[in-house]
Chains A and B, each alone.
Chain A
Amino acid sequence: MIKFENASKFYGDVAAISQLDLDIQPGELVALIGPSGSGKSTALKMVNRMVELDHGRILFKNQDITRFNLQDLRRRMGYAIQSVGLFPHRTVAHNIATVPRLLGWEADRVRARVTELMNMLSMDPDHYAGRYPHQLSGGQQQRVGVARALAADPDVLLMDEPFGALDPVTRAALQRALKAIHRATGKTILFVTHDLDEALLLASRIVLLNNGRLVQVGTPLELLQQPANDFVGDFLGRADLGLKQLSLQPVAHYLKPLAGPAPAYLIPSTATAREAISCMAEQHVSSLRVADANGNIIGQVSAPDLLANNHV
Chain B
Amino acid sequence: MSDWPVRPPLTPRGGAKTLSACVVLVLLLAYGLPHSERVFSTLFPDLSRPVYLQEPMADLLWQHMGLVLVSSATAVVVGTAAAFFTTTIPGRAFKPLIDMLATLGQTFPPVAVLAVAVPVVGFGELPAFLALAIFGVLPVLQGTLAGLASIPTPVLDSAHAMGMTPRQRLTEVQMPLAFPLWLAGVRTSVIVNIGTAALASTVGAKTLGLPIIVGLSGFNTAYVLQGAVVLGMLAIAADLAFDQLALRFDRSAA
- On A, residues with C-beta under 8 Å from B are 48, 50, 70-75, 77, 79, 81, 83-90, 98-99, 102, 129-132, 134-135, 148, 158
- CB contact between B176 and one of A72, A89, A98 (< 8 Å): that residue: A89
Against A, the Cβ 8 Å flags (1 = close, 0 = not) of B21-34 are: 00000000000000
Tell me if B42 is interfacial: C-beta within 8 Å of chain A.
no
Interface size on B, residues (CB 8 A): 25
Partner of A85, one of B152, B164, B168: B152
Q: Is there contact, CB below 8 Å, between A87 and B163?
A: no
7 new A-B contacts at CB < 8 Å, known A75-B162, A131-B2, A158-B161: A70-B163, A74-B162, A79-B161, A85-B156, A86-B155, A87-B177, A134-B252
Complex Cα–Cα for A87 and B169 (A) = 11
Contacts A99-B162, A99-B163 known; A88 to B252 CB distance under 8 Å? yes
- A74's nearest neighbour on chain B, judged by CB, is B163
How distant is A262 from chain B, measured CB to nearest CB, in Å?
52
**Choice from A77, A84, A98, A134 contacting B154 with Cβ under 8 Å:** A84
Q: How far is the CA of A135 from the CA of B252 in the complex (A)?
A: 10
Cβ of B165 under 8 Å from chain A: yes
Is the CB of B1 closer than 8 A to any CB of chain A?
A: yes
Find chain A residues with CB under 8 A from B154 CB: 81, 83-85
Would you give 19 A-B contacts (Cβ < 8 Å), ordered by A?
A: A50-B157, A50-B160, A50-B161, A71-B163, A74-B162, A74-B163, A81-B157, A81-B161, A83-B154, A87-B159, A87-B172, A88-B155, A98-B162, A102-B168, A130-B1, A131-B2, A132-B251, A134-B253, A135-B4
Do B152 and A87 touch (CB < 8 A)?
A: no
A131's contact among B4, B164, B176, B253, by CB below 8 Å, is which? B4
A158 contact set on B, CB distance < 8 A: 161
Hey, which chain B residues are within 8 Å of A88, CB to CB? 152, 155, 177, 252, 254
Interface centre among B2, B158, B161, B253 (most CB of A within 10 A): B161
Instruction: Name, among A85, A90, A98, A130, the residue most crowded by chain B CB atoms within 10 Å (CB to CB).
Output: A85
In the complex, chain B residues whose CB is within 8 Å of the CB of A98: 162
A111 CB to closest chain B CB, in angstroms?
A: 15
A148 vs B164: C-alpha distance when bound (angstroms): 14
Select B162's contact among A79, A130, A131, A135, beta carbons within 8 Å.
A79
Q: Is B173 in the interface zone, CB < 8 Å from A?
A: yes
Contact yes or no, A85 B158, CB < 8 A: yes
Query: A74-B161, A102-B163 in contact; A89/B152 too (CB < 8 A)?
Result: no
